[in-house]
């Protein structure tokens, strides 16, 4: 069953239905990936997004002119960063129970959101018109939201750090 049709049947406009569908998918993916990342890799992933972005933007190679190539290299560097630096950077998210799970899901949502912010800015609105709605695209590509996505990991790191007493 198509989620857009289901939401449309409930009286929700098609653009809003697309945005709601994306939000549901975004949160579901964040929840699932948070289990894969776990409490040690989530903080390394946040740093990895910054590292991958810097490397891809400063790499001035001909094959990195296309947005799809930039996207693949960005994701490869991010995955490599997480794999290689998880053992070196031993920071983790603390807690237990529902609050711990919420911290992991929020952290994963920030990793995915910042990654989408980076990747979607490499594509033109015309290239994205078949993939996401204009409202969702603005949530990741407008100047204000780009700023919010850029500082969100720093705020998150400050909020979930372990306190040493």
Q: What are the φ/ψ torsions at residue 69 (nearest 5 degrees)?
A: -70, -40
Q: What confidence category does residue 130 fall into, taking pLDDT thresholds of 50, 70 and 90?
A: confident
Measured on CA atoms in the order 77, 61, 152, 145, is the torsion positive or negative? negative
In this predicted structure, the answer to whether residue 89 has a pLDDT above a threshold of 80 is no
Higher pLDDT, 82 or 76: 76
Q: What percent of the chain has pLDDT over 90?
A: 15
Judge contact between 88 and 28, C-beta under 8 A: no
In this predicted structure, the answer to whether residue 86 has a pLDDT above a threshold of 70 is yes
Residue 76 confidence (pLDDT): 93
Residue 90 confidence (pLDDT): 63
In this predicted structure, the answer to whether residue 3 has a pLDDT above a threshold of 60 is no
In this predicted structure, the answer to whether residue 94 has a pLDDT above a threshold of 80 is no
Judge contact between 141 and 120, C-beta under 8 A: yes
The Cα 153–Cα 94 span in angstroms is 16
The Cα 140–Cα 156 span in angstroms is 18
Mean per-residue pLDDT over the chain, rounded: 80
Q: What percent of the chain has pLDDT over 70?
A: 81
pTM: 0.74
């Amino acid at each position: 069953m198509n989620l857009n049709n289901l939401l449309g049947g409930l009286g929700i406009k098609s653009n809003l239905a697309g945005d709601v569908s994306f939000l549901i998918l975004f949160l579901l993916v964040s929840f699932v990936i948070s289990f894969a990342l776990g409490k040690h890799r989530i903080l390394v992933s946040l740093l990895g997004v910054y590292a991958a972005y810097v490397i891809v933007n400063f790499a001035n190679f001909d094959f990195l002119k296309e947005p799809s190539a930039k996207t693949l290299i960005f994701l490869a560097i991010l995955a490599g960063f997480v794999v290689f630096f998880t053992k070196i950077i031993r920071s983790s998210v603390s807690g237990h129970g529902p609050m711990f799970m919420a911290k992991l899901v929020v952290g994963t949502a920030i990793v995915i959101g910042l990654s989408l912010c980076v990747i979607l800015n490499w594509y033109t609105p015309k290239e994205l018109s078949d993939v996401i709605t204009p409202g969702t695209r603005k949530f990741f590509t407008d100047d204000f939201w780009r700023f919010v996505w850029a500082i969100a990991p720093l705020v998150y790191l400050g909020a979930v750090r372990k306190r040493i007493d």
